[in-house]
Amino acid sequence: MRALVLVALSLIVCAAQLSVAPLFPLSGAVPDLGLVFFAALAWRGGVSPLLVSAPAYAGWFALLAGRSPLLVFVAYAGAAAALLVLARPEPGARRPVERVSGAAAILGLSIGSVWTRASFAVGSMLAGASAEPWSLVADVIAPGLLLDLAFYCLLVLAPGLVGWLLRSVTRIGSRTYAV
């Protein structure tokens, strides 16, 4: 059941990637919501949900965007592998759960962002696009990395910070009134 929920979430994120993300362009790049989803999933849920959602997202993206399935799977498998490499065992867990820390999730998101955009660029170059390295870095990879990090901060870190602040305020309030 959990795997079906992850596949459905992957479809929703893929639909958002293809419909909402193009509304936020920066110099020829758009945020990759799939990578943001992978980093949030690895940070909050561990790496086992990532093993289901990454291939599901790649399949949905290849199907809905009309891209080469092999290219999409290579791009997103490399991004997921960056997060898998950064995982560490969680101490004190009943079963072996590997999580990615917050800083490691940001690092994995950065590595995955560069890998995914470089993979798609190589695919475009093999299909006949011009191969200008500086233009690729300045117009696609660097702005895309900045957009991915900005969307990660807005969609994952900011709500987590607000929740943490609200929990701390309610704890302080309950201690104050309990005395």
Stated pTM of the model: 0.82
Q: How confident is the model over 89-108, as a mean pLDDT?
A: 76
CA atoms of 116 and 73, how far apart (whole Å): 10
CA atoms of 171 and 178, how far apart (whole Å): 10
Q: How many structural domains compose the chain?
A: 1
Q: What is the 3-state secondary structure (H, E, C) of the chain?
A: CHHHHHHHHHHHHHHHHHHCHHHCCECCECCCHHHHHHHHHHHHCCCHHHHHHHHHHHHHHHHHHCCCHHHHHHHHHHHHHHHHHCCEECCCCCCCCEECCHHHHHHHHHHHHHHHHHHHHHHHHHCCCCCCHHHHHHHHHHHHHHHHHHHHHHHHHHHHHHHHHHHHHHHHHHHHHHC
Q: How confident is the model over 129-136, as a mean pLDDT?
A: 82
Are 82 and 108 spatial neighbours (Cβ–Cβ below 8 Å)? Answer: yes
Q: How confident is the model over 2-30, as a mean pLDDT?
A: 92
Q: How confident is the model over 56-74, as a mean pLDDT?
A: 94
178 band by pLDDT with thresholds 50, 70 and 90: very low
Identify the domain containing residue 130 by its residue range.
2-178
**Residue pLDDT, tens place only, 68-82:** 999 999 999 999 999
